[in-house]
Structure 1
Amino acid sequence: MSDQEEAMDTQINKDLYEALMNNDDAKVLDKCASIPKGPLHTVTIHEDTVIHIATYHKKTALVLQLLNMVSATDSHKLTWTNKGGSTILHETATNNKTVDAAREMLRRAPMLLSISNKVGETPLFYAARHGKTKIFKYLHDEVCKSNQGPDLKTFLSRDDKSSILHLAVLSKNYWMAHEIAVRHKHLIHEKDEDNMTPLQLLSSRKLEVCPTNFFKKQIYKLIDPNVEDTSWMLKPLKRLRKQKFACHWARKLITLLVQNDTSWEKTESMFTKQRSKFHQFGKGKSIAQLEELAAQEASKHEPETPLILATKSGCTEVVTEILEQYPQAIEHIDQDGRNILHVAILYRNHEVFDFVVDRKYAKQRLRGKIDNDANTLLHMVGEQREDDEIDADLKGPAYVLKENMQMFKKVKDLTTTLDLFKLNSKLKPAEQMFYENNDKLRMEAKNWMTDNAKNYSIVAVLIATVAFTAAYTIPGGVDKNGQPVFKSSPLFMFFTAADAVSLSAALTSVIIFLNVITSTFKFKDFEGSLILKMDAGIMMLMISLAMLMVAFAATLILTISRGKKWTDITLYVVSFFPVIIFTFAFVGIHKIDASKYYAKFKSILWEPMLSLFSNANPKPAVWYSRPPNPSAHPPSAF
């Protein structure tokens, strides 16, 4: 190609690419009509044709027009592949808006359906990888029409052994994954190049859960996840519907996959290679020998079973489903000699821990076991994890240490007396190991709480100063008798009360923060008192700030209001706007803590009171307004 021809080709590519990016369909069609290859002209450095790019950008109408420009005698040219081996049909698999384009492509060139790209992905597999439901359904139907038995395997897997079920799970399209598992059951047991089954992939991460916000949760309950026409929905509703749809089908998929999975039966022996020791004397392995053994064990490790993976990742739905369908799976032991309680404690999965402990028989069977390093359940609390530093950054080291202390206490109440004295392979009892491994976190928590308490104290003193000053510079001043001008106004009493509460709360928070700064910061202090003091100090500071805003708003209205309706309404809105914003911001930040306090109140006071009137014991007939109907069915969940 001469320099002049190369320059012309570059200019054509530039014009076509810009027209495609700017949605100038008329210019694209005109350009394609004026060049020899037409819509099959390669426009990118990766050898994508004009139809490739138009399809990728969901321009179905343009794609159909471009296909009409290709003569019937040139239909075989539609099988052109770019440098990645993808055809124009592969590009339709990246979105749901090109089903009509895919139908026309297959009508003109049916061989497109079976062409694989350079990693062995057919268009059907490509659709599964991108999680696009509509195009997947169409391509799947087309594949099943002409291919059955062994011929179907090409379409269901790629070169690295991953199946379309693996990719549907990874793309979080659980409806698609469920349909694939129902229609191609043999894929449930297929393993990818890392020896992972679809259920193991699903167990490796948390699922979508319902919103924590109260109002969103109520809307979430009312939404029908299977509604197809969402054009009338606002974006927030669409997001909630999509979230509920994913959660709904994820649970169905979990039930189906668990029914066909018995990997928990492949377990290590309940008798570990370590024996329990209660003192440091006698024969023992050196640290070098222990490290060598650990390295040898690590080299033999295979992927964990779904039960263990789900416990590690926090996918509680998989764990509960496995244990509901197979209660005997509770005794499964992983390659490190750990049972499910060991893993739940190590990864701080409180839901799984509580679920297992609530089963009395399971608790008795598991609580005294040790792993390959002779660690008891109590040792697991002191084990350090990679996520500890991340949690400390997100939550604050004091709150992480508090959770560790509470977990230690919870596990200590569960374990046997002998577990308190057992030594692990490093000849350390659980309590010593916990304190040694958490000492650095304790120092970080001490510095964090001290710094925060000092900063909060400064803010509280400033608020107290302003509130104290406002008490002696009352709005409107005083009359000749020394009485406040606005004394008879209800807003003046509102101002006085708000200012007094602000001053009192600010001074109280200062006292609390000083108490925190001067604390000893021992481990037991972090279990409850220090965190409670810090939370109480912050709460009082927030109340003080909120009341100061209210006092400001009352002062503004008292001094500026002229009795005109619309002026007063505007003034009220402007005055109380900071209070409203502050309230929502504060509730948003501390809603998790509030839910914890509510749960604690419910468990300590409310539930015991209700238990007095529960159906645990027979009640006199007069207790019932009407005879109970034992045949009545519970209301449907949907």
Structure 2
Amino acid sequence: MSAPGLFRVAQMPPTFIRLTPERPSLLPYLPLYKAVLRGDVREVARCWLADAVKTRITLNADRALHVAVGTGTANHIVEYLLAKMSDDQVRLRNNDGNNVLAVAAIVGNVEAAKMIMGRLPELIDVKNNNNYVPLIEAARHGHKKMVKYLLPFSESYLLSEDRPTDKTRVFFVHLLIIAGFYDLAIKQVLSHGSLAVSELYPGETLLSAIARKPSAFPSGRKLRSYQKGVYIYWHGISVMGIQKMMTNISSCIRRMMTSISSFIRNYMPHSLIIAITLFQSRWRFVYSIIGEKKWMYRQKIFLVKLLCMEIISRSNDETAYSRLKQPLLLAATLGAHEVVEEIVKSFPDAVLFANEENHGAFHLAVINFHEAVFNLIFEMNGHRHLLLMSQDNSGSNILHLAGNLAPQYQLNRIPGAALQMQRELQWFEEVEKVVPPTFREDKNAQGKTPAMVFAEEHQGLVKEGEKWMKDVATSCSVATALIATVVFSAAITVPGGNNNFGHPNFYKEIAFTIFGIADSISLFSSTGAIFMFLSILTARYADSDFLYALPKRLILGLFLLFLSVTAMMVAFGATVYLVFTEEKQNWVLGLVIGSAILSVSVFAYSQFPLLLDLTISTYGPSIFGKQSPGMLYEI
């Protein structure tokens, strides 16, 4: 129990804590409790009472040794207390039934566990009130080092798998998969192949546990654009190759930095030093997202293949059907296309599996908007449309399902209601290309065609998209109008004034030429942006307009706005350089350029992500289509 928890106990009215011989007051042990939490062994020795080794010092009946082990940092106190306690006192448990080894497993205190195991190794098999031994608690709380330490001592406990009604080892490996310890899970399955066909409870196998973790696969992680590009580019490089490359790059950078360190300190601009530092940190980032995650990805793929292989080799058709159906449909629902692909490769008839609503893997992919799973249809042969011809219990075909509104968690991944509507239209059109033409006019049990379903389901999103587009256009129109006003005034009021002949005083200066060109570009681009934003405000906002018409106008408007801001800052910088600088010092030029870059960068930081998302969504490559060579399944 934590110190704040004890404080709350101390603040309770006396009626809430009844003092009995079995439940003595905690207050005499408060100094000892605080000393253990601080890790002050001298204070622990000073506050030590005769019965402190066996008396609870928290409301949860934790002894001093429980608290010391639970801190994870007071192992010197653990060693001190173990020396003062008898074996029976070390065996004491708290109200949760946890002995000190179980507490060490829960918090991941390996050092304390080693000391306790050296004293009382039999604690490894003692169960708490939840019927869990320390090994299970370590796996439940995700402490890999603790699991690896306790596992060799717990084989006798795990051997209970030989009893048909006991699912001990299956439960343990299930926890390893949930925690992401795939290497440990692989070792268990390699040693005990029957785990693949064992069920923790009806329908729940180890393969189902993997299917519930789509985030461990690249398709299930939300990465930024450059992270996805980096991952795809390096997909064929081994982890050892990445490590070797990173080591060589780091070594070269260190030698370079050492040899020119004096030059850097005296002459290199501070910004360049920052740039080099960011470059080094970016390489470390590349290694972190590629090396570690790629290695975990390969482990998980291998585990999926291993489980599928064991299921096929140890089962008849009926058993294979029962063990593979739930994981396949679950993976399709959650978007783990790698699991779907491996199951279909191992058992081709799995593509025909359907749930109680007669939804197959591709129907579930469409319902939940998982394009990576749906793309597997393009790896089928020319008869792939046969897999999409079934109707569900409500008479809806797969195009009806594509007309439904996407789940909210999928919509939240896309910024802006207009982009969300655009993605909905893309989904519907791509599914429409795959299905036979007759599907477009089929009616479900409610007498609705797919187009009717789409229109009804997206009425609210169309209104939200219209409001979002108009809000963006209105805000940008105001900014663009101000820019146009400023640059028009600047064009009339020539910097430096005119001479007696009506000519600008600085017309021979290069900076004046730069001013004239930049001011003209800013004026024309801001005027064009105003027209684009006005066209958005006066659009009809039909469903189909969100696919190309409206996004194109917004892209062009934002681009012209960005161009006008940039040109305006260039014109302003040229004006300041002309009017307020007589000797044209370089430091003034650097200051003006730096200020202009800062302003443009702030604008780009706030608006460029939206422009990039719009451009990629409208003009970028389709997310649909065949992703890998070869055939996944042939009918």
**Smaller-chain TM-score range?**
0.7 to 0.9
Q: Residue 185 of structure 1 aligns to which amino acid in structure 2?
A: G
1:149 corresponds to 2:156 = no
Q: CA deviation at 1:242?
A: 4.1
Gapped regions of structure 1 (runs ≥ 5): 270-300, 608-638
Give the alignment partner of residue 185 of structure 2, picking from 152, 155, 177: 177
Moved more, 233-242 or 421-430: 233-242
Cα 1:266–1:411 change in 2 (3 A) is farther
Residue 83 of structure 1 pairs with residue 95 of structure 2: yes
| Counterpart-to-counterpart distance in 1, 2:127 and 2:539 | 68
| Paired position in structure 1 for 2:139 | 128
Question: Is contact 1:478-1:484 (8 Å) kept?
Answer: yes
Q: Distance in 1 between matches of 2:391 and 2:72?
A: 58
5+ residue gaps, structure 2: 1-17, 251-279, 627-635
TM-score (norm 2): 0.76
Cα offsets for 1:258-311 (capped at 9, x unmatched): 3334699679x9xxxxxxxxxxxxxxxxxxxxxxxxxxxxxxx99972222112
1:350 counterpart = 2:350: no
- Cα distance in 1 between the residues matched to 2:558 and 2:600: 17
Matched-pair contact (CA < 8 Å) for 2:68–2:75: no
CA–CA separation in structure 2 for the residues paired with 1:564 and 1:414: 66
CA distance in 2, matches of 1:25, 1:176: 37
What aligned pairs does 1:244-393 form with structure 2 within 5 A after superposition?
Answer: 244-261=294-311, 305-387=326-408, 391=411
Q: Distance in 2 between matches of 1:185 and 1:309?
A: 23
1:103-114 to structure 2, matched below 5 A, reads 103-114=114-125
**Partner Cα separation in structure 2 for residue 557 and residue 264 of structure 1:** 83
User: How much does 1:392 deviate?
Assistant: 6.2
Equivalent residue runs for 1:213-612 within 5 Å: 213-214=225-226, 218=230, 221=234, 224=239, 236=285, 239-240=288-289, 241-261=291-311, 305-387=326-408, 391=411, 395-559=415-579, 563-564=584-585, 568-569=589-590, 572-596=593-617, 599-600=620-621
- The 3 A distance-change label for structure 1 pair 182 and 386 is same
Inter-partner Cα distance in structure 2 for 1:535 and 1:108: 70
Distance of 2:418 and 2:134 partners within structure 1: 52
Q: CA 1:44–1:475 in 2, change beyond 3 Å: closer, same or farther?
A: farther
Structure 1 residue 417: Cα displacement: 3.0
Q: Deviations over 1:412-469 (max 9, x none)?
A: 2222233233221222222222222222322332233233322322222122222323
Instruction: Supply the distance in 2 between the matched residues of 1:496 and 1:459 (Cα, whole angstroms).
Output: 21
| Bigger shift: residues 497-506 or 187-196 | 187-196
Q: 2:632 is matched with which residue?
A: none
Distance in 2 between the 1:302 and 1:215 partners?
A: 35
1:375–1:86 distance in 2 versus 1, CA, 3 Å: same
Aligned equivalents of 2:189, 2:357: Cα separation in 1 = 31
Q: Do the aligned residues in 1 keep the contact of 2:26 with 2:58 (CA within 8 Å)?
A: no
Report the CA distance between 1:516 and its aligned residue.
1.7
CA distance in structure 1 between the aligned counterparts of 2:491 and 2:548, rounded to whole angstroms:
37
Confirm or deny: 8 A CA contact 2:385 2:434 kept in the other structure.
no
1:135 deviates by 1.2
1:186-205 matches, within 5 Å, as 186-193=194-201, 195-205=203-213
> Which 10-residue stretch deviates more, 216-225 or 372-381?
216-225
Q: 1:399 to 1:29 in 2, by over 3 A?
A: same
Which AA in structure 2 matches 1:501?
Answer: I
Q: Could you tell me which of 55, 62, 65 is aligned with 2:79? A: 65
User: Are the aligned partners of 2:32 and 2:43 in contact in 1 as well (CA < 8 Å)?
Assistant: yes
8 Å Cα contact 1:42-1:49 kept in structure 2: yes
Q: Which is further off, 364-373 or 583-592? A: 583-592
Identity of aligned residues (%): 23
The corresponding residue for 2:29 is: 12
**2:45 aligned residue:** 30
Offset, 1:498: 3.1
What is the TM-score normalised by the length of structure 1? 0.76
RMSD after superposition: 4.1
